[in-house]
Amino acid sequence: MTGQLIVGLDVSSRARAEEIVAALGDAVDFYKIGYQCFYGADGYALGKALIAAGKKVFFDLKLLDIDNTVEKGVAAFAETGAAMLTVHAYPKTMRAAAKAAAGSGLCVLGVTVLTSMDDADVKEAGYERDAAGLVALRAQQARDAGIGGIVSSPHEAEMVRTIIGPKMAIVTPGIRPAGSAAGDQKRIMGPAEALAAGATHLVVARPIIEAADPAAAARAILAEMNSGTRFA
């Protein structure tokens, strides 16, 4: 269960990121490095150091570019030994990423609709579908592209699982344990509920890294994850 919890190192200082990792100790073995950490805290070097220390790393960079650039970028991340990497869930991008990751241990994830977006945001962005409909489309395209999984809100996890089948990963941000504020997230769910809906990995940042005792916060979330029926 520990490996299903991914802690987001959403900080701008490498020293602070290393403090969080040290505070979490053996409670967590999987870390997400997104824009803030990657660009503000030398996240590429930090990620490689974590991998060398036996931790798993998820580079959440949502790559999107011409096919050749995506392919070469994904290949470079595959060489680091990273466990996961995100790309935007556009068909050509996912196909290029799948080609680059083939034969490596890197799980490429297609980002469907951000958990900070709702139907109104999707409409404003120019899509005729609602959020769930767009997630469903992207999930089907991710399956057909042959990548390792998708990122979606836990609210769509059950639907997505019926589309992509039992083997692909479903990584869900927007996880809020009991007593946590929603913040800027709009499509949120508790840890046990998300796993029961079909999620394979849960991403949690603020409820853990901003806690007075990050390890205790992580263990409390793991306890919540264990309290429900897990997707198998």
Question: Which residues carry a binding-site annotation for substrate?
Answer: 10, 32, 60-69, 115, 176, 185, 205-206
Structure tokens at 218: 């992580």
Q: Is 65 a known active-site residue?
A: yes
Structure tokens at 227: 């309290």
Q: Is 99 a known active-site residue?
A: no
**Amino acid at residue number 161:** R
Distance of CA 49 to the CA centre of its chain: 20
Give the Cβ contact number of residue 162 at 10 Å.
10
Structure tokens at 194: 């998300």
The residue written with tokens 């869900």 in the block is: 172
Q: Which one of 65, 119, 121, 130 is the catalytic residue?
A: 65
Contacts of 195 (CB under 8 A, 6+ apart): 4, 202, 225, 228, 229, 230, 231
Query: Read out DSSP for 121-132?
Result: HHHHTT-SS-HH
- C-alpha–C-alpha distance, residues 79 and 88, integer Å: 20
**Amino acid at residue number 3:** G
Annotated binding site: 10, 32, 60-69, 115, 176, 185, 205-206
Q: Is 56 a known active-site residue?
A: no
- C-alpha–C-alpha distance, residues 130 and 140, integer Å: 16
Active-site residues, by number, are: 60, 62, 65
